[in-house]
Amino acid sequence: MIELDAQAVMWLALGSAALGVLLLVIVVVLALRLRSLRRDQRRAFDLASGEDIVSALGRIDGGLDAVRRDLVTLHGDSEHLRELLRSTVSRVGVVRYDAFEDMGGALSFSAALLDERGDGVIVSAINGRTETRCYAKPIVGGGSQHHLSSEEEQAITVAAEGRPAATAPAGRRRRRNAS
């Protein structure tokens, strides 16, 4: 048998004790990690409802499929609405002016009401001292088959440029035609 002296036995005992303390620290650290892992596991696998994380992810995936279908439907609906909006009045241009030299206050006007394609109508009102005359002319693609005055053309330009619906001064005064 091997005989060890007292000093060697003391060093072996101290080493074993140090190793035991080190292993005890490791066991405590692992126990704390295991406790944290079990707590996270309980959260992931909700034992009260009986649903685990896999079934929860399956349920969420089914919900996402429904959202995707709804999104496709909404996209189609929005394209339909966009097409409808293209034909609504979205561009307005108004030009006020004095139709006659003896009349002030810019009471006459031309108003262009157009959609995105430049189709619509232009309404003009010529105000005189004793009467007012109104005219409406169809506009297709920013132009008309009817003769347009410079004020009407300017109103169409204001509307086509998308400026806010406001008044713009006419470039020149209109003169009364001798009839």
Identify the CA nearest to 127 among candidates 153, 152, 149, 100. Answer: 100
Tokens of 83: 């097409």
Tokens of 63: 């919900």
If asked whether residues 111 and 162 sit together in one domain, one would say yes
Q: Tell me how many domains the chain contains.
A: 3
If asked whether residues 29 and 65 sit together in one domain, one would say no
Q: Is there a domain that residue 176 lies in?
A: no
- Asked if residues 136 and 72 have their Cβ atoms less than 8 Å apart, the reply is no
If asked whether residues 143 and 97 sit together in one domain, one would say yes
Of 10, 29, 44, which marks where a domain is finished? 44
Q: Is there a domain that residue 175 lies in?
A: no
If asked whether residues 39 and 100 sit together in one domain, one would say no
If asked whether residues 73 and 140 sit together in one domain, one would say no
If asked whether residues 17 and 55 sit together in one domain, one would say no
Q: Is there a domain that residue 125 lies in?
A: yes
Q: Is there a domain that residue 108 lies in?
A: yes
If asked whether residues 82 and 124 sit together in one domain, one would say no
Tokens of 98: 């004095």
pTM score: 0.54
If asked whether residues 136 and 162 sit together in one domain, one would say yes
- Asked if residues 126 and 176 have their Cβ atoms less than 8 Å apart, the reply is no
In order, the DSSP letters of 113-175 are: EE-TTS-EEEEEEEE-SS-EEEEEEEEBTTB-SS---HHHHHHHHHHHTT--S-EEE-SS---
Q: Is there a domain that residue 179 lies in?
A: no
Q: Is there a domain that residue 178 lies in?
A: no
If asked whether residues 95 and 139 sit together in one domain, one would say yes
Q: Cα 171–177–179 angle (5° rounding)?
A: 170
Q: Is there a domain that residue 59 lies in?
A: yes
The β-bridge partners of 124 are: 110, 135
If asked whether residues 16 and 59 sit together in one domain, one would say no
If asked whether residues 13 and 68 sit together in one domain, one would say no
Structural domain of residue 63, as residue ranges?
51-86
If asked whether residues 28 and 1 sit together in one domain, one would say yes
Helices and strands (H and E) in the chain: how many:
3, 5
* CB atoms inside a 10 Å sphere around CB 168: 16
pLDDT tens for the chain, 179 residues long, are 678 788 888 999 999 999 999 999 999 999 999 999 988 877 776 656 667 777 778 888 888 999 999 999 999 999 999 888 888 888 899 998 888 777 777 888 999 999 888 899 999 999 888 888 999 999 998 888 999 998 999 999 999 887 665 555 555 444 444 33
